[in-house]
Amino acid sequence: MIVYVTKRLVIGLVTLLLASVVVFGVLEILPGDPARIMLGMNAGPDALEALRQEMGLNQPAPVRFFQWLAGLVTGDLGRSYTYSSPVIDLVQERLVVSLPLALISLFLSTAIAIPVGVFAASRSGKLSDTLTMGTAQIGIALPNFWLALLLVYVFAVGLRVLPAGGFPGWADPVEAIKSLILPSISLALPQAAILARVTRSAMVETLGEDFIRTARAKGLPRRKVLWRHALRNAMIPVLTILGLQFSFLLAGTIIIENVFYLPGLGRLIFQAINQRDLIVVEGVVMLLVASLILINLAVDICYAIVDPRLRIGR
């Protein structure tokens, strides 16, 4: 187990390091002088020089890379030029919106998908299975921002029960949660459709195996076999997709937060890109990549917990 986790950890760290080279490299080879891009065409030479000095742009690229890397490790992501505050503060401010949004979406999609997938698998080949999976096919094809518009039309414009956008802050938790409901459903439903299909196919495969027949033959109730024995064995592909979905959720927030005018990380990075605030872009992208790698590491460890066979060997 320890060897397995250590190996995954090392692979994760190497990927993270390479990713940081890529992020730094891409923003490095961009045409133009970052200082000029930030200050605009009318900036005087003194202001440009001062900003270059402040950003450390006069030093060679490898030196700046290691300085930036050291900053990342110590949690210093640099200072945003447009917001004139440390990037890490901006991230913290936005995280209180984006993290709950992602977690609620992840919870919703799992809570919908796993029962639906198990249900469809248990009636594999029957009409209810076909109908459920047909609905899932449509769910997969739904662009989340269109779903968002439809939800806004029904619940904000029509029924007037939920806000169409904006975020009131956590001072009023009820209003804050209310403003996150429609965004999370928009993010969760298409993901749930994918997850339900994966759950179903993994379950159908598991249900065909000998140990399931044995469990049924020794008189265990069907319900127990389904949820205890089969689901646990079907979890590996489900976990894989769940890990991948986190990536889609993060990317999804960039669009959904724009639809609902939520002041989250997605909106921060989108605005930072448009304003050429490259320090913010670098920092937030690295943070997202790091969290993605961490999630995948967690998924790998979950594999080992779910399936003890993986603990040894690899």
> Using CB under 8 A, which of the segments 138-146, 167-175, 177-185, 216-224 binds another protein?
138-146
Residue placing its CB nearer to another protein in the complex, 30 or 63: 30
Q: Are 248 and 191 in contact (CB under 8 A)?
A: yes
The CA R_g of the chain, rounded to the nearest whole Å, is 24
Which member of 65, 119, 145, 155 binds another protein (CB under 8 A)? 145
Q: Phi and psi (nearest 5°) for 86?
A: -60, 140
Our finding on whether 259 is near another protein (CB under 8 A) is yes
> Using CB under 8 A, which of the segments 82-90, 94-102, 173-181, 266-274 binds another protein?
266-274
Query: Least separation, in Å, of the C-beta of 211 and another protein?
Result: 17
Query: Least separation, in Å, of the C-beta of 120 and another protein?
Result: 12
Q: Phi and psi (nearest 5°) for 33?
A: -95, 120
Q: Could you tell me which residues come within 8 angstroms of residue 98 by beta carbon, excluding any fewer than 6 positions away?
A: 253, 257, 262, 264, 265, 266
Tell me which residue has tokens 């806004």. 152
Taking CA atoms, 45 is separated from 160, 204, 276, in Å, by 54, 68, 19
Site string for another protein, 83-122 (x = CB under 8 A): ----------------------------------------
169: left (phi over 0), alpha (psi -120 to 50) or beta: left
Taking CA atoms, 131 is separated from 33, 81, 120, in Å, by 57, 53, 9
Site string for another protein, 193-212 (x = CB under 8 A): --------x--xx--x----
- Exposed / middle / buried, residue 44 (Cβ in 10 Å: 0-12, 13-18, 19+): exposed
Residue placing its CB nearer to another protein in the complex, 67 or 291: 291
Our finding on whether 254 is near another protein (CB under 8 A) is yes
Residues near another protein (CB under 8 A) are 11, 14-16, 18-19, 22, 30, 124-125, 137-138, 140-143, 145-146, 149-150, 152-153, 157, 201, 204-205, 208, 247-248, 250-252, 254-255, 258-259, 269-270, 273-274, 281, 285, 288-289, 292-293
